[in-house]
Amino acid sequence: MPAPVPVNRRGFLSAAGMAALAAGLGGPLLAACGSNTGRGNSSGNGGGISQWYHAYGEAGVQQAVERYAKAYQDATGKSVSVQWNPGDYDSKLATSLLSGGGPDVFESTLSVARVRAGQVVPLDDVIAPAKDDFTATILATHTVDGQVYGIPQAVDTQMLFYRKSMLDAAGITPPSTVDELVDAARRLTTDKVKGLFAGNDGGAATLGGPSLWSVGLDYVTPDHKPGFDDPAAATALGKLRELYTSNSMLLGAVKDWAEPDAFIQGLVAFQWTGLWAVPAVQQALGDDFGVLPWPKLTDAGAPSVPVGAFGAMVNAKSQHVDDAKAFVKWLWVDRTEYQEDFNLAYGFHIPPRASLADKADKLKTGVAADSVRFVRDHGKASNPVDWTQGARTAFLDAVSKVVREGADPATEIRAAAQKAQDELTRLYS
């Protein structure tokens, strides 16, 4: 056994300082320096690829994607520099794509406008070997006019979490219709606990889509018409208003709906939040919770969960389009072990590929298995490619006015549908 090398005090302190620096500053600094032009270190070896991610909240993801990039370099001799982007990633990416200085490969959601502006290249040849393996709902959100522009990386969804012990104590079974949910939320409300938390805006931002799906409508129809210009949409939004005014919703929580804090702290019996919250809830509550899709309201409708996925895309202005496509194919189509690692080893996502989702032990039992089933059976695109920002804003404004200000649902829905129609006409005329 080798004797430990004696270290004097100054040596120890400086080593510790270096280590702290390396851990605390070195990582981000190096990452930033390596790619602050957005083009990566292409000058050095001619043909390096730059890749952008938004900042994932889970520990270890950044190291993982840097490891994949390194493995690609070892395998092919082509370097990939990864840039991690904290803050407003969407705006930063959108701006960089306008100039020639954007990344070669990036993750994003797809919009028809982005395709029409020629900012991304088709990836049909990249995905071809595995196309049938990808969940159809998810792949549809990365397809425009039959061409695939993004390779889905990881599926996220939102669900209704409920506290089993609270429902049991009140003799309430998990609701299967919106009316049952409204009733349950009302009965579970006490002076210390509210029935439901779906965001500080009373669900105006998150529950609009699920409300449409609960009566069998949608944002956009397959033939690119507004899908909600219908009296049933007014009925569905009216239910949200009923919930909002029933005094059984938590409003003004410190953390908004995306964080499970209110649910974990026992401030509510139901909370609408994301799949990503499962590990934290599990750790805090053990088995004392279950998940549900947003229930149906009428028989025309169905239970639903909104689904979406970031996809890997290739910048059309890239100097290395072919290299970038080869890298995307290597990482997001060929190397299934990295896709599995990315989806399951850090946070909690569902792999977009059936072959991976099926064989993952972590997804075979309990809440995880439920969520996989919801995505497969009840998944609805949260962000369809032809649902433009203009239409989305008009729809969210309408929901907000109905739910929070008591505006007439029929009038508001009409106005939003008109705006959506204008946007769709612009895109498809």
Which region, judged by CB under 8 A, interacts with another protein, from 31-39, 71-79, 93-101, 358-366?
A: 93-101
Amino acid at 325: K
The reply on whether position 145 binds another protein by CB under 8 A is no
Which region, judged by CB under 8 A, interacts with another protein, from 202-210, 226-234, 304-312, 328-336?
A: 202-210
Closest CA to 168 of 287, 282, 267: 287
Among 36, 95, 147, 411, binds another protein (CB under 8 A): 95
The reply on whether position 202 binds another protein by CB under 8 A is yes
Two tokens, residue 201: 């805006």
Q: From the CB of residue 100, how many other CB atoms can be counted at a distance below 10 Å?
A: 12
Q: Report 115-134 residues binding another protein (CB under 8 A).
A: 116-117, 119
Which region, judged by CB under 8 A, interacts with another protein, from 30-38, 249-257, 292-300, 339-347?
A: 249-257
Query: Cβ of residue 192: shortest distance to another protein, in angstroms?
Result: 8
User: 118 vs 286, which CB is nearer to another protein?
Assistant: 118
The reply on whether position 103 binds another protein by CB under 8 A is no
Query: Cβ of residue 387: shortest distance to another protein, in angstroms?
Result: 9
DSSP string, 183-199: HHHHHH--SS-EEEES-
Q: What radius of gyration do the chain's Cα atoms show?
A: 24
The residue count for binding another protein (CB under 8 A) is: 41
Closest CA to 371 of 241, 269, 279: 279
Cα separation of 427 and 429, whole Å? 6
3-state secondary structure of 52: strand
Among 114, 163, 325, 380, binds another protein (CB under 8 A): 114
Between 19 and 58, how does the x/- string for binding to another protein read (CB under 8 A)?
Answer: ----------------------------------------
Among 83, 109, 158, 189, binds another protein (CB under 8 A): 109
Q: Is 334 exposed, middle or buried (0-12, 13-18, 19+ CB in 10 A)?
A: middle
The reply on whether position 405 binds another protein by CB under 8 A is yes
Query: Cβ of residue 256: shortest distance to another protein, in angstroms?
Result: 6
User: 86 vs 171, which CB is nearer to another protein?
Assistant: 86
Q: Is 288 exposed, middle or buried (0-12, 13-18, 19+ CB in 10 A)?
A: middle
The reply on whether position 274 binds another protein by CB under 8 A is no
Phi, psi of 271 (to 5 degrees): -140, 135
Which region, judged by CB under 8 A, interacts with another protein, from 89-97, 142-150, 334-342, 343-351?
A: 89-97
Contact 198, 207 (CB under 8 A): yes
Contact 41, 81 (CB under 8 A): yes
The reply on whether position 169 binds another protein by CB under 8 A is no
Closest CA to 72 of 325, 310, 313: 325
The reply on whether position 393 binds another protein by CB under 8 A is yes
The reply on whether position 323 binds another protein by CB under 8 A is no
Closest CA to 140 of 225, 222, 229: 222
Q: From the CB of residue 44, how many other CB atoms can be counted at a distance below 10 Å?
A: 9
3-state secondary structure of 299: coil
User: 191 vs 223, which CB is nearer to another protein?
Assistant: 191
Cα separation of 108 and 97, whole Å? 12
Query: Cβ of residue 102: shortest distance to another protein, in angstroms?
Result: 12
Among 183, 256, 288, 370, binds another protein (CB under 8 A): 256
Cα separation of 238 and 236, whole Å? 5
Q: From the CB of residue 212, how many other CB atoms can be counted at a distance below 10 Å?
A: 26
Contact 257, 270 (CB under 8 A): no
User: 110 vs 281, which CB is nearer to another protein?
Assistant: 110
Query: Cβ of residue 88: shortest distance to another protein, in angstroms?
Result: 8
Query: Cβ of residue 407: shortest distance to another protein, in angstroms?
Result: 10
Query: Cβ of residue 116: shortest distance to another protein, in angstroms?
Result: 7
Contact 51, 83 (CB under 8 A): yes
The reply on whether position 246 binds another protein by CB under 8 A is no
Cα separation of 67 and 69, whole Å? 5
The reply on whether position 339 binds another protein by CB under 8 A is no
Contact set with another protein (CB under 8 A): 90-91, 94-95, 97-98, 109, 111, 113-114, 116-117, 119, 199-202, 204-206, 250-254, 256, 258, 267, 388-390, 392-394, 396-397, 400-401, 404-406
